[in-house]
């Protein structure tokens, strides 16, 4: 698993570097072919998946430790991005996503911490956890898209579109893709919250209240953003700011609480 994980990390970083050089027109043609880069990225994702799933489930249930979940989210984000890039011009997002996936995988390999679910949990609760990870991954991809959109918009407004910006899809296409990601992520997050309400015994227990409040607040912000887009045509900086604000709440809801509980308090 260490060897497979190391190869995956090297491939992640190599693909991201070649994509960056390709944007600046410095990558050798033989090493910067779009299909070859996507194929190499998918090989890295496959190896990452082997490492992840080899230790994801224990004798009682899923391993929900901080670094395992960080690795799982990064793997799913990388997978969804590369698969989507086979049909749409999204591969430049991998310049940000793949190094983060490599970092998350490296931290998982270096950590011996595990936090398995207790035995006998209802399937609905496990479904809630898996759907929550999917929602977080989709919205993580949306926020990367929003950050890239912010860079693109800033360059275009200043009137000097560099090589990086010239190779991106048109601004309207980027915005349309952003709202599609947010819409899908919002739907999956809604399902996760419904499953949590049905199968979690007490959503406002001491160790869950902050997670519940922050998740619902993020859900409200994403919902308002989609409503504003539909009703008032929100776009540009307004959409970017709302996306980032909602994602920060969602990140604090899950990884913020796990960071404090597991790595700082050791519970």
| 77-105: average pLDDT | 90
pLDDT computed for residue 246 by the predictor:
93
pLDDT computed for residue 103 by the predictor:
95
| 57-80: average pLDDT | 83
| 20-41: average pLDDT | 78
In 86-208, which ranges are continuous DSSP H helix? 94-110, 123-158, 163-166, 171-199
Per the listing, tokens 């050791």 go with: 266
> Does pTM surpass 0.85?
no
Please give the share of the chain, as a percent, with pLDDT higher than 70: 82
171, exposed or middle or buried, with CB in 10 Å at 0-12, 13-18, 19+?
middle
pLDDT computed for residue 244 by the predictor:
93
| 108-121: average pLDDT | 77
pLDDT computed for residue 188 by the predictor:
94
Which of 18-27, 77-86, 165-174, 229-238 is least confident? 165-174
| 149-176: average pLDDT | 73
Q: What is the pLDDT of residues 169-196, one digit of tens each?
A: 777 888 888 899 999 999 999 999 999 8
Copy the structure tokens of residue 194.
């419904």
pLDDT computed for residue 31 by the predictor:
62
53, exposed or middle or buried, with CB in 10 Å at 0-12, 13-18, 19+?
exposed
Distance (Å, rounded) from C-alpha 20 to C-alpha 32? Answer: 10
Copy the structure tokens of residue 143.
């926020």
Which of 16-20, 26-30, 51-55, 61-65 is least confident? 26-30
DSSP code per residue over 195-226:
HHHHH-S-TTSTTTHHHHHHHHHHHHHHHHHH
pLDDT computed for residue 113 by the predictor:
79
Handedness of CA 187, 185, 73, 259 (dihedral sign): negative
Strand partners, 182: none
54, exposed or middle or buried, with CB in 10 Å at 0-12, 13-18, 19+?
exposed
pLDDT computed for residue 209 by the predictor:
77
pLDDT, averaged across the chain: 84
Radius of gyration, alpha carbons of the chain: 19
């Amino acid at each position: 698993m260490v060897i497979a994980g190391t190869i995956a990390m090297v491939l992640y970083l190599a693909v991201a570097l070649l994509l960056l050089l390709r944007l600046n027109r410095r990558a050798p043609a033989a090493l910067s072919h779009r299909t070859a880069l996507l194929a190499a990225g998918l090989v890295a994702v496959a190896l990452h998946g082997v490492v992840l799933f080899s230790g994801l489930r224990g004798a009682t249930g899923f391993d929900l430790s901080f670094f395992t979940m960080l690795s799982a989210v990064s793997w799913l984000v990388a997978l969804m991005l590369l698969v989507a890039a086979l049909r749409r011009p999204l591969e430049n997002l991998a310049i940000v996503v793949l190094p983060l996936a490599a970092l998350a995988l490296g931290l998982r390999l270096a950590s011996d911490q595990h936090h398995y679910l207790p035995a006998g949990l209802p399937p609905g609760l496990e479904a809630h956890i898996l759907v929550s990870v999917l929602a977080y991954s989709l919205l993580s991809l949306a926020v990367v898209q929003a950050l890239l959109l912010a860079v693109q918009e800033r360059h275009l407004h200043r009137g000097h579109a560099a090589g990086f910006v010239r190779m991106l899809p048109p601004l309207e296409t980027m915005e349309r893709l952003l709202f599609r990601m947010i819409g899908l992520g919002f739907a999956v997050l809604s399902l996760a919250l419904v499953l949590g309400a049905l199968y979690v015994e007490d959503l406002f227990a001491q160790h869950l209240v902050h997670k519940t409040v922050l998740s619902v607040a993020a859900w409200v912000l994403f919902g308002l953003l989609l409503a504003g887009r539909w009703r008032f045509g929100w776009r540009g900086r307004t959409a970017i700011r709302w996306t980032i604000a909602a994602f920060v709440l969602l990140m604090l809801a899950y990884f913020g609480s796990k960071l404090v509980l597991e790595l700082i308090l050791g519970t």
